[in-house]
Amino acid sequence: MSDTNYWLFKNVLIGPAAKGYYRPWVEGAENIPAEGGAILASNHLSFSDSVFLPLVIKRKVVFLGKAEYFTGKGVKGWATRTFMEGVGTIPVHRGGGRASEAALRTGLQVLQGGDLLGIYPEGTRSPDANLYRGKTGVARLAIESGAPVLPVAMIDTHIAQPIGQRLPSRHPIGVRIGEPISLEKHAGRQDDRTVLREATDEIMHAIAALSGQTYVDRDAALVKREMAKAAREEPAEGDADR
């Protein structure tokens, strides 16, 4: 996706109308460096997080998104692909092994190119508005690239657009950006699992302090699967009396 398309989307096609209608607020924008690569590590409450975060930041923000967003068929597939490209999303294949490594390499290239990289360390949207354990890729990228990490808190996007709702409602939406976290003290230790875990936990607790969310030291994707299983096994109303 070209920078021209990105700025067209942000400044002409979507940005002005979205700003005027939703009026998102931002705190801490001064913490974003004027130039150079940096990581925006954000909580993830809603699909619209990837819209409102870039909307309140002057610099371009690049996100890594699941490849499935770019492979849909028909009009819906085209619309989704066009939208994701327009908001600065680069497709990556999710999963372990080579897929994870490829995603990290792509993120590293973004940072080395001097851009802002948006990351959701939880790996998925929160199922219940709590903040869940971060995956260590964010720390690995920061250590290997030398880029600072800015903790970010999306505020009330899950209320404006709950999971399953197509468009956000007109509810106050905010973004808080914290002071940069430097991981230079861990330089050269991007393969040390203990260091990666400690650094990631430091980032997640900084996000929690900004967002006010309850921190849960569990994997969000696992919690989602458990909730889905419990919902399937829950007896339908009236079944317990039969």
Q: Which of 120, 126, 106 is nearest to 151 (CA)?
A: 120
Question: For 116-172, what is each residue's pLDDT tens digit?
Answer: 999 999 989 999 999 999 999 999 999 999 999 999 999 999 999 998 898 899 999
Among 54-58, 69-73, 88-92, 144-148, which range has the highest average pLDDT? 144-148
More confident: 52 or 241: 52
Question: What average pLDDT does the segment 59-71 reach?
Answer: 80
More confident: 43 or 78: 43
Domain contains 138? yes
Domain contains 26? yes
pLDDT value at 77 more than 90: no
Residue 237 — very low, low, confident or very high, per pLDDT cuts 50/70/90?
low
User: What's the pLDDT at 27?
Assistant: 98
Residue 147 sits at φ, ψ, to 5 deg, of -75, 145
DSSP string, the chain: --HHHHHHIIIIISHHHHHHHH--EEE-GGGS-SSS-EEEEE----TTHHHHHHHT-SS-EEEEEEGGGG---HHHHHHHHHHHHHTTEEEE--SSTHHHHHHHHHHHHHHHTT-EEEE-TTSS--SSS-EEPPPTHHHHHHHHH---EEEEEEESHHHHS-TT-SS--S---EEEE---B--GGGTT-TT-HHHHHHHHHHHHHHHHHHH-PPEE-S-HHHHHHHHHHHHHHSPPTTGGG-
Domain contains 242? no
pLDDT value at 242 more than 70: no
Domain contains 146? yes
User: What's the pLDDT at 171?
Assistant: 93
Tokens of 61: 């923000």
Mean pLDDT over all residues of the chain? Answer: 88
Domain contains 90? yes
Domain contains 235? no
C-alpha to C-alpha distance for 237 and 158, rounded to whole angstroms:
28
Percent of the chain with pLDDT over 90: 60
Q: Are 126 and 44 in contact (CB under 8 A)?
A: yes
What CATH number does the domain containing 64 carry? 3.40.1130.10
Among 5-14, 60-69, 74-83, 157-166, which range has the highest average pLDDT? 157-166
Q: Residue 124 CB: number of other CB atoms within 10 A?
A: 17
Domain contains 237? no
pLDDT value at 67 more than 90: no
Name the amino acid, one letter, at 141.
Answer: L
User: What's the pLDDT at 95?
Assistant: 61
Domain contains 240? no
In the chain, the number of structural domains is 1
pTM over 0.75, yes/no: yes
Q: Are 22 and 168 in contact (CB under 8 A)?
A: yes
Question: What average pLDDT does the segment 21-30 reach?
Answer: 96
More confident: 217 or 82: 217
Question: For 158-169, what is each residue's pLDDT tens digit?
Answer: 999 998 898 899
Q: Which of 41, 40, 53, 51 is nearest to 9 (CA)?
A: 51
More confident: 92 or 192: 192
Range of the domain at 162: 3-217
